[in-house]
Amino acid sequence: MGQDGRAAYALALTLRMGLGGGALSGLGIALFGVPALVMTLAMNGTMQGLTLGLSGGMTCGSCAAYAPPVVHASLPAALWL
């Protein structure tokens, strides 16, 4: 935690997860006829639950200290509050 070495891997993994979630949403809408708004809200709840479960519930501003320095440098400080 807090190391730049895995930041590129984390970025690639995040983009792949977003693509996977988008593909699942698209399939649910196209194949099963689920309304887009309902599918979006369902995917949002699913992703939030996965995020909280996999991160151990770290959602506070002080938890940003675990982010690598390269992430801190690339985002405005206001986003870390």
Alpha carbon dihedral 58, 76, 65, 52, in 10-degree steps, equals 10
- Is the pLDDT confidence value at 54 over 80? no
Q: Give mean pLDDT, residues 1-28.
A: 85
Q: What is the value of pTM for the model shown?
A: 0.62
Closest CA to 17 of 59, 56, 48: 48
Cα–Cα distance, 71 to 20 (Å, whole number):
23
pLDDT at 72: 64
Q: What is the pLDDT of residues 8-21, one digit of tens each?
A: 888 888 899 899 99
Positive or negative, the CA dihedral 34, 36, 41, 42 is: positive
